[in-house]
Structure 1
Amino acid sequence: MASRVSLKTKGKGKGGKVSKGSDEKSAAQRLKEWSTWAMKKAKVVTHYGFIPLVIIIGMNSEPKPHLYQLLSPV
């Protein structure tokens, strides 16, 4: 006997009966998840990129300081 593969989808999909409210809710949920993901990535970029950014800006300013002058507290 040959076996058949069924391609049934689970849950709500475009082919099933989906109300308009649940589409909007899922879009709102996706927006919330995306913004949370983006804020987490922005936090990491800011955390690890702030000091190198300050050093790069400081080295491109006039008068041109040496790296040890930028890093020294005095």
Structure 2
Amino acid sequence: MAPKVMLKAKGKNAKKSAAVADEDGGAVTAVYTFVKDWTTWTAKKAKVITHYGFIPLVIILGMNSEPKPSLSQLLSPV
């Protein structure tokens, strides 16, 4: 009999993950929930990085283009 892999889940899905791991084929479902939780965590972090990094990226790319505009020219709406 193969040993079951038990992963401790943190956060909101801790009880849900523990219940899924206790079902038949617990090792497979535990890995599935781990991958699902990791993917969700990664997507949330990517969303925050994209949200706060987009405008600075546009400013940096605009300042490195030709002709070289000043910062005030980049930020003015005209």
TM-score of the aligned structures, taking structure 2 as reference length:
0.69
Q: How many residue pairs get matched?
A: 60
Asked whether the 8 Å contact 2:59–2:74 carries over to 1, the reply is yes
Identity %: 62
Q: CA RMSD in A?
A: 2.2
Structure 2 residue runs of 5 or longer lacking an equivalent are 7-21
Matching residue within 4, 17, 25 for 2:29 = 25
- Measured in 1, the distance between the counterparts of 2:52 and 2:40 equals 19
Tell whether 2:74 aligns with 1:70. yes
3-state SS of 2:25 partner: helix
> When you count helix as a share of all residues, which structure comes out higher?
2
AA aligned opposite 1:26: A
Structure 1 residue runs of 5 or longer lacking an equivalent are 1-11
Tell whether 2:73 aligns with 1:43. no
Distance 1:44 1:26, change over 3 A: same
Q: Higher RCO, 1 or 2 (CA under 8 Å, sep at least 6)?
A: 2
- Measured in 2, the distance between the counterparts of 1:13 and 1:59 equals 52
The one-character-per-residue Cα deviations of 1:12-43 (angstroms, maximum 9, x if unpaired) are 657xxx99821110111000000000011001
